[in-house]
A and B are shown apart, each in its own frame.
Chain A
Amino acid sequence: MNLFFLSWKNLWARPGSTLLSLLLLVLGVGLISFVLHFSEKLENNLIRNAKGTDLVVGAKGSPLQLVLSAVYHIDNPTGNILLADADTLRMHPMIKQSLPLSYGDSYQGFRILGTDTSALRWYDAHLKAGRVWGKSLEIVAGASVAEKLGLEVGSVFFSTHGLVSGAEAHEDAPFKVVGVLAPAGNVLDQLLLTDLSSVWEVHEHEHPEGEEAPHQITALLIRCQNAFGILAMPRQINENTRMMAAVPAFEISRLMKLLGFGAATLRGLAWVILVVSAISVFISLYTSLSSRKYEMALMRTMGGIPLVLFAMVLFEGLWLTLTGYAAGIFAGRVGMIFAGKVIDKQYHYSFTGMPWLKAEQKLLALVIVIGIVAAALPAWQAARTPISETLADA
């Protein structure tokens, strides 16, 4: 017999109210943990993929849409821009580096991105097998696409028009995989890279015979020489050209503000649930006392000092909140795994690794405080059970 065992047993002698309190704790802790992990992963992903891209230039439309499509590859493009216009812009003295992008087709739901071979340097990616593309219709597959679709050097496939799988296939222009990338930890992992000219070749038949259509691309990623460029260029581009410039950093912070509101709402709800769970722990312990009064007196007759009774009830509160915390942290991770599956399926982004976050460690301290505060009054009440009166009343 010891204090921990006794408290634990007492807790489960009243399974109904114990389970109710646990459920509330799991809900509160789980929700907080889930929101913490989710927003952390989301923010990490957004920031990591935008790293090094100061500006995105594309067709006029929604700047957020342009950033989502050109940087994260999760939205539709705003339209196309003329290659000639883009090439002129690339000569601008404030630009340090730029990367043309052409997209709109996909294979099995994974996007095909036409670009030039400097993309690998831009995204800090390295080949795991094969070589980079040398001519049109050659493909270098990102690490997770290659793994999920089982692509390897030598594989051949037909792209589909548009960004959803199952749409019309371009059956006259087969793509051939010539290289596979090592995991880069960014958006490149879920893309199929090819030359800009591949996209033009696949879509050539869409123009009337003999008419030479001007080459188009979808967007241009830009790295500026300095911060002044980031501030000055968008205005110049938006006012003087048929194109639009968007600043990813600015668009992300706007997006995070919008999402942050949702996260704050969920977190607020979680705090309310935590408060309710604290009340439930208190009520559960307090109401159990009246039926356990005789037990308490009995323990006193067997030599139990008031401090032991106090500690026993206090530990019942602590056991409850600590078990709730552990189960809640576990539930939050299970939730993340499911959310990760959905996001992987929809956007091909994978969320991996769930460390014990600092904020979760603080939550543990808070939960311990909740347990102590909720149990303190019932514990004190138990400690001062009058022995003689209680025994005589029975």
Chain B
Amino acid sequence: MLRTKDLTFSYQPETPGFHFPDFRVAAGETMLVLGESGKGKTTLLHLLAGILRPSAGEVWVGNIGLSKLKGAQLDRFRGRKIGLMLQRPHFLPALSLEENLLLAPWLAGVSQNETRMNEIAERLGILGLMHKKTYQLSQGEQQRATLARALINKPDVILADEPTSALDDKHCDSVAALLKEAAIVTGAALIVVTHDNRLKRLFRNHLTLS
């Protein structure tokens, strides 16, 4: 489902940048990307999401090479195929939770399926919070809400950036479990980027950047 080859990136030309090992993650599978700060974890995640363009190499989602997609095409593709769970839960403060969740299909240009949204919200235990503003939610609720938003467009790939770094052990375990479950249920490839060593024991497949 997700595959990379010779992925290289440098912030300035002529300077040595990051070279990432090749890997592939199949549908329903998970992979943990570990590494110290400054080893290019976030850079890799942005490359996989098509937010950054690699200096060389390629990322394939399904059988589409991201470098083949131009501007708005890439934006739409990202919106439809890649569910992103960012480091800090962030929302549009002007909107309620429900409106924030519906923003994802609207921006990706797919139909705003409320039934599907409610199913996901129910599974993640946030259905009762749909009309609250997102800043009124607890941190754990916000975390689950960002996961719900990442899942709503039935992505082929789920990318999570430090999903547990701010959580205590109990919540860390439950978010990890939710992520793994989401990957299996939706048949998406899940990649979790983290320096949180607690996750090591919860995921079998590791990639350590050095």
Contacts and interface: CB of A to CB of B under 8 A. Distances in A.
Given A13-B93, A308-B107, A388 B88 contact: no
A307 interface: yes
A299 B107 contact: yes
Contact of A9 (B51, B95, B107): B95
Nearest to B94: A13
B95 A303 contact: no
Given A392-B42, A394-B88, 17 more contacts: A1-B106, A1-B112, A6-B94, A9-B92, A10-B94, A294-B90, A300-B51, A301-B51, A301-B84, A301-B86, A302-B84, A303-B108, A304-B79, A308-B107, A387-B51, A391-B86, A394-B90
A88 interface: no
B128 to A, nearest CB: 21
24 contacts: A1-B102, A10-B92, A13-B93, A13-B94, A295-B92, A295-B93, A298-B91, A299-B103, A299-B107, A300-B51, A300-B75, A301-B49, A302-B79, A303-B76, A303-B77, A303-B79, A303-B107, A303-B108, A303-B109, A306-B72, A306-B75, A307-B72, A388-B51, A394-B86
Contacts of B179: none
Instruction: Place the interface of chain A in its size category.
Output: 20 to 34
Tell me which of A9, A295, A307, A388 has the highest count of chain B C-beta atoms within 10 A of its own C-beta: A388
B75 A304 contact: yes
A2 interface: yes
A204 B99 CA distance: 84
Contact of B90 (A298, A305, A306): A298
A201 B47 CA distance: 104
A338 interface: no
B88 A303 contact: no
Contact of A301 (B76, B78, B94): B78
> Chain B binding site: helix, strand, loop or mixed by DSSP?
helix
A64 B93 CA distance: 64
> Chain A binding site: helix, strand, loop or mixed by DSSP?
helix
Contacts of B108: 302-303
B52 interface: yes
Interface of B: 42, 46, 49, 51-52, 71-72, 75-80, 84, 86-88, 90-95, 99, 102-109, 112, 149
- Give the top 5 A-B pairs by smallest Cβ distance, nearest first: A303-B79, A13-B94, A303-B108, A1-B106, A304-B107
A383 to B, nearest CB: 11
B112 to A, nearest CB: 6
Given A302-B108, A388-B46, A388-B51, A295 B76 contact: no
A377 B92 CA distance: 21
A12 interface: yes
Nearest to B93: A13
Contacts of A301: 49, 51, 78, 84, 86
Contacts of A306: 71-72, 75
A6 B46 CA distance: 27
B48 to A, nearest CB: 12
B78 A303 contact: yes
A303 B51 CA distance: 11
